[in-house]
Amino acid sequence: MSDENKTLTDVGEAAGVFPETLSEETAADYSAVTQEMQETVSQQIPQMQESDAQPYSEADEETAEDAVPTPHFVTVARQAREQREAERAARRAEAEAKAALEEEEKLFGSVDDDEEEEAPAPPSAEEGPVIVFDHVTKEYTDGPEDADNAALKDVSFSINRGEFVFIVGPSGSGKSTLIRLLMREISPTAGAIYIAGSNLSTLRNRQVCKYRRSIGIVFQDFRLLEDRTVFENVAFAQKVIGAPSRKITKNVSKMLSMVRLRNKYRSYPNKLSGGEQQRVAVARALVNNPLILLADEPTGNLDPANTADIMELLEDINARGTTVVVVTHNREIVDSMQRRVISLREGVIVDDKKGGYDRE
């Protein structure tokens, strides 16, 4: 894994993708890229629900037909060599994917294996809300006494494509539960959650993995791989989905430009400030063109200057079309940004409107 990553970094360098002196890409170039990202996203999501199509597939390379017939023994030898190469590549890819999956589970939790496999809901139309909570209740333990203490109680709301929404509320009000439900890390006790029209509860395990890769997640504690460079941390998300190396180098490079960390691509997380580490986490969350970006207290460990910086980054991302859901305690930020605010208290929505953080 890390050898492969080193090679990637070296390739980036050799290709001149990451010279320290390289100027930032132009804004025009960037917006063309993000537009392409958004188009890819809208195509990917229905695919994800419909089939097992991979986001990336290498185009079959066709060799030109020779005008002169090739001797039989040459063809046989070539076929044998190609087969050996293909087998080696498949073994390498399998080992890498397995290692990446293990890392992914460490970071984001594993998918429970004891669920019934049911047919997924049919893919939705392009229009309509991207997130729907339909009378969602979440109790962490069974039993009658828990119904009153449920972490979320009969919560309903919907979020449209491209919205920027803050989730606020005192500690213990159910904010993280809401995010974990959206990540499909846990499932509702009652009610249903629809993402782009698909009921999350009916996704099969394999589809859950795919679904998780279609959302970007940022945590308070960054969750970077400490023994990997900045480049490798972001590249990791692309490896999990099996993106080819050339695309990884290109995409990671773009993301690092966006979060203004291109010149730190070889640094390890412990050499970065908290704000820089969170920017790496944001780049990692975005590199696979997610439909939704979820952030649970992303600025909880940051000082005011870095908080403002991360929030600006999230606004930029949203301005380019990604739906953003941010849990925060930061009253100042919420008041200054004047976005939609869903306020929770004891598992119930007590307010849902555009504007500031006007409740305790």
Task: Kindly tell me which residue out of 12, 129, 169, 191 binds ligand ADP, with binding defined by CB under 6 A.
Answer: 169
- The entry of ligand ADP, Mg ion, none that residue 55 binds, CB within 5 to 8 Å by partner kind: none
Interaction of residue 173 with ligand ADP, rule CB under 6 A:
yes
Contact letters for ligand ADP, residues 35-64 (x by CB under 6 A): ------------------------------
Query: Should residue 175 be labelled a site residue for ligand ADP when binding is judged by CB under 6 A?
Result: yes
Contacts of 324 (CB under 8 A, 6+ apart): 163, 164, 165, 292, 293, 295, 314, 317, 318
Q: Quick check: 176 binds Mg ion (CB under 5 A)?
A: yes
Q: How far is the CB of 160 from Mg ion (least distance, A)?
A: 24
Judged by CB under 6 A, the stretch of 35-43, 82-90, 171-179, 256-264 that binds ligand ADP is 171-179
169 is in the binding site of which of Mg ion, ligand ADP, none (Cβ under 5 to 8 A by kind)? Answer: ligand ADP
Least distance to ligand ADP from the beta carbon of 319, Å? 27
**Per-residue mark of binding to ligand ADP, 106-145 (x: CB under 6 A):** ----------------------------------x-----
176 is a site residue for ligand ADP (CB under 6 A):
yes
Task: Output 252 or 294, the one with its CB closest to Mg ion.
Answer: 294
Nearer to Mg ion, 161 or 175 (CB): 175
Given the rule CB under 5 A, which of 174-182, 191-199, 256-264, 307-315 is the region that contacts Mg ion?
A: 174-182
Give the nearer residue to ligand ADP in terms of CB position, either 232 or 296: 296
Token reading at 309:
């910086």
- At its nearest, how many Å lie between Mg ion and the CB of residue 220? 8
Does 353 contact ligand ADP by CB under 6 A? Answer: no
| Number of chain residues interacting with ligand ADP (CB under 6 A) | 10
Give me the residues that bind ligand ADP (CB under 6 A), please: 140, 151, 169, 171-177
Give me the residues that bind Mg ion (CB under 5 A), please: 175-176
